């Protein structure tokens, strides 16, 4: 799975703004990120 650099930049920017507006959201963002990275890692490992 290849993510285009512009896409990751936009996702980072939006996530940063949302976390500044809703600090409690940081827990959910980190949890979702870790879950997605774990699933992608397992799929690529198979």
Residue 21 lies in domain: 5-45
What is the spatial distance between Cα 14 and Cα 34, in angstroms, rounded to a whole number? 18
**Count of the separate structural domains present in the chain:** 1
pLDDT confidence of residue 46: 63
pLDDT confidence of residue 40: 83
- Interval 1-46: pLDDT, tens: 566 777 777 877 887 788 888 888 788 888 888 888 888 888 877 6
pLDDT confidence of residue 37: 84
Cα-trace Rg, the chain: 12
pLDDT confidence of residue 3: 63
CA 8 to chain centre: 9
């Amino acid at each position: 799975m290849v993510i285009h650099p512009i896409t990751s930049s936009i996702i980072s920017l939006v996530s940063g703004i949302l976390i500044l507006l809703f600090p409690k959201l940081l827990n959910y963002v980190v949890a979702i990120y870790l879950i997605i990275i774990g699933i992608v890692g397992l799929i690529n490992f198979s």
